[in-house]
Structure 1
Amino acid sequence: MNFNDLKISSDIKKSINDMGFNKMTPIQKLTIPKELKGADLIGQAQTGSGKTLAFGIPIVEKIFIPDKSPQAIILCPTRELSMQVAGEIEKLAFRIKKFKVLAVYGGQPIGKQTRVLKKGVHVVVGTPGRVIDHIERGNLDLIGIETVVLDEADEMLEMGFRQDIELILSKTPPQRQTLLFSATIPDEIKQIAKKYQKNPDFIKISDKKEHIPKITQYAFKCNIKDKFDGLTRLIQAYDVKMALIFCNTKKSVDYVAKHLKKLDFSVDSLHGDMTQKTRDKVMNKFKNGNINILVATDVAARGLDIDNVEVIVNYDVPQNSDDYIHRIGRTARAGKTGLAVMLVSKDETARFNNIRKANSVKIIERELPTHREIETIKNMQILENAENIIKNENLEEYMNLIKDNSSNNDYLEIAASLLKMMGSN
């Protein structure tokens, strides 16, 4: 089934084509036709499954342009995801004249958002806290809302937004359509669904295997006191250019980032205790390549969408299989391949075994490279770079310099000494 088979406007179909999409993903195939008919639903799907279009297409299709009051509201856990979702909605509605979508979130002056809301907006995308702020100030009236979407609902609940979500839902008309999308379905989500949805369809997409084959996955057993040393060995052994390191706690993030900085790695950290301004600054540094290692907690990294992350490091074993899949899904984007490595201490073995058993995730256990092996790997990398230079660059000037100024005519010996010098740097 492809998008042209849907009963939606030709303008939206053209925009979907412009975005480079043709065939629908499983979550889109199973949800869009139901949503177009007005059904409530719970969609369980991982990041990268195409859920933004799954709820975005029906929303854009149903908007009545002459009515400038909000007709749909999408709640997201973070500013980054709000901006991302609003951007996708904007692309879908590109050919629809006078269509307005606005992302509202903390960390940006409220005045600018207020002015846009007063002029009229069809779709509001935002974090629960800032949405409530606008409601309380009288900037946002939800009386005309026809569709509410809770995106990444499990993350919003984990971040403590349940009360805010329920308050927002209580301000919307009871006849609204309520769509709930989440990677996991804990009891809290079931409770919200029971209270605020009308006979929702439950759609679960087990598409984890579909997104993982391009990611090589290794696990390295080590003592907890040797974890940091193991991390630095892996960074060197795999010649990491751009890596995202996940830790389970803010304390762990701070420890890893601080000690990597001491070793002169280009690194910064990201966690929920930082101000939004600081988080934006750090993420821009990572996106722009000003730092090549980012150490983060799961929540802080939500909405971080970067195509060229080569390596994901699980410094701490995630709490469950869903978190693991979510973390490693941040590499191998846009058809590329990726590497995911995990450091496993003795007290994390049970969690590791559970992750490996779940959905037959293929994680290969390996020994941490020794310092001697790392030296060999580094030397091989230097040699490989040297061979590339020989193929692609003119070395005549340098060859003449060696001939004219070296008393040693054994060029192999000279090359070996240069390799030793470079390898020890």
Structure 2
Amino acid sequence: MNFDDLNISDEIKKAVGKMGFRELTPIQKLAIKPALNGTDITAQAQTGSGKTIAFAIPILQKIFVPDRSPQAIILCPTRELCMQVAGEISKVAKNIKKLKVLAVYGGEPIGKQTRVLKKGVHVVVGTPGRVIDHIERGNLDLIGIESVVLDEADEMLDMGFRDDIENILTGTPCQRQTLLFSATMPVEIRRIARKYQKNPKFIKVRDDAKNIPKITQYAFRTNHKHKFDDFIRLIDAYDIKSALIFCNTKKGVDFVFKGLKKKSFSAEALHGDMNQKHRDIVMNKFRNSNVRFLVATDVAARGLDISSLEFIINYDVPGNYDDYVHRIGRTARAGKTGYALTLVSKEDSINFNNIKKSSKARIAEKKIPSDDEIEEIKNKRVLDEVKKSIKVDNLQEYLYVIKKNSSEDISTEELAAALLKKLREN
């Protein structure tokens, strides 16, 4: 099924096509049609599954543009996700004249948001706390709300937003449509669904090979004493150019960050003690590839979406399977492939074994490579590139140079070996 098969406006079809989307993802196939018909939805969908488009299209399809009051509210756990979702919805709405989308979140002066709300906004994307703030100040009237979306609902509950979410839902018209999206489906999410939705359609994308993000998952047994050195070995062995590295504590983040800096790696740290301005600077550096490694706690990394991120490293094993899913879901976005590497010390064994039992995908256990093995891996990496070049490149000019410089004293094999040495040293 592709977007042309949907009963939606030409403006939306054109915008989605320009965004490069043709076929619907599994969550879009299951969610868009019932949502267009006004059905409430509770969907279990991973980050990066295409769920933003799955709720953006039904919301935008029914916006009445001449009415400049808010008609839809999307609640997100973090300001970063708010900005990302608002940006995506704005792209889908690009061809709908005079339709306004606004992101509201903390850490930014409320006056600017207030002025935009007073001028008229159709779709509000916000963190629960800032949305409540605008409601209490009289800036945001809920009387015309026709759609409410809870995006990454499990993370919002983990962050303590339950009361704010319930207050917002209670304040919206009872005939509204409620769309709930969550990577995991704990008891509290199900309770909210029962209480605030009307005969919702429950959707869970089947975990078959086609729908699981293409994440290669490896675990490496280590011990506390040599953990950091083993971590550096993995960076070396896998030739990791950039990675998001998770630690369980702020102390752990600082330790790994300082260790990377001592080794002259380009790195930044992210945890809850930092103010929002500093967090934004660090995240933008990482997003724009101005820093190689970002070391973070789970809470600090929420809402961080890097479409091209190839590696996630769990320096510490997370406390449960849900947290593991959230972490590794930061890679292999939008159909790309990715790697999740997890260091497992003796103290982590119980948590890791529980995660492994819960995981539907295989987490392969591998040994930390030795110095000799790392050298062999590096040589193989260069030679693989050389073999690829032999197949696809025109090498006549270079073959002539090699033949010209080989002799009885210097064989072509020796020339190749010396060239490999020079490449490795550089």
**TM-score, reference length from structure 2:** 0.87
Is 2:40 the partner of 1:40? yes
Could you tell me whether the CA contact under 8 Å between 2:50 and 2:334 is conserved in 1?
no
Aligned partner of residue 178 in structure 2, secondary structure? strand
Structure 1, 68-77 or 175-184: larger mean CA deviation: 175-184
Question: SS in structure 2 opposite 1:360?
Answer: coil
Alignment length (residue pairs): 418
Residue of structure 1 equivalent to 2:27 = 27
2:207–2:360 Cα contact (<8 Å) kept: no
Can you list the C-alpha shifts for 1:380-403, whole angstroms capped at 9, x where unaligned?
6677889999989999xxx9xx9x
Cα 1:392–1:2 shift into 2, 3 Å: closer
8 Å contact 2:102–2:125 — kept in the other structure? yes
Deviation of residue 313 (structure 1)? 0.8
Q: Distance in 2 between matches of 1:53 and 1:207?
A: 20
Q: Once the 2 structures are TM-superposed, how far is the Cα of residue 288 of structure 1 from its aligned partner?
A: 1.9
Gaps of 5+ in 2: none
Q: In the alignment, is the contact (CA less than 8 A) between 1:63 and 1:122 conserved in 2?
A: yes
- Measure the CA separation in 2 of the matches of 1:68 and 1:211: 39
Q: Which residue of 1 aligns with 2:50?
A: 50
Instruction: Compute the displacement of 1:410 (Å).
Output: 10
Q: How does 1:382-393 map to 2 (within 5 A)?
A: none
Question: Residues 184 and 322 of structure 1 are in contact (CA less than 8 Å); yes or no, is this contact kept in structure 2?
Answer: yes
Over the aligned positions, Cα root-mean-square deviation in angstroms equals: 3.1
Shift of 1:215: 2.9
Q: Post-superposition shift, 1:11? A: 1.6
| Per-residue Cα deviation, 1:296-339 (whole angstroms, up to 9, x for no partner) | 22332233222332221111223333433332233333444322
Q: Residue 310 of structure 2 corresponds to which residue in structure 1?
A: 310
The correspondence of residues 145-224 of structure 1 with structure 2, limited to 5 A, is: 145-207=145-207, 209-210=209-210, 212=212, 214-224=214-224
Contact 1:46 1:208 in 2 (8 A): no
Asked if the contact 1:218–1:340 (Cα under 8 Å) also holds between the matched residues in 2, the reply is yes
Q: TM-score of the superposition, structure 1-length normalised?
A: 0.87
SS in 2 for 1:257: helix
1:2–1:23 contact (8 Å) kept in structure 2: yes
Query: Following superposition of structure 1 onto structure 2, how do residues 256-271 of structure 1 map, counting pairs within 5 Å?
Result: 256-271=256-271
Q: Where in structure 1 are there 5+ consecutive unaligned residues?
A: 403-407
1:375/1:423 contact within 8 Å kept: no
Partner of 1:244 in structure 2? Answer: 244
Distance 1:19 1:418, change over 3 A: closer
Higher mean C-alpha deviation, range 342-351 or range 362-371: 342-351
Q: 1:8–1:336: structure 2 CA closer, same or farther, 3 Å change rule?
A: closer
- SS for the counterpart of 1:300 is helix
**Mean Cα displacement is larger for which, 307-316 or 351-360?**
351-360
Q: Secondary structure at the match of 2:16?
A: helix
Query: 1 CA distance for matches of 2:245 and 2:210?
Result: 23
| Partners of 1:160 and 1:233 in 2: CA distance | 38
Structure 2 equivalent of residue 405 of structure 1:
none
Amino acid at match of 1:21: F
Give the match for residue 276 of structure 2. Answer: 276
Secondary structure, counterpart of 1:148 in structure 2: strand
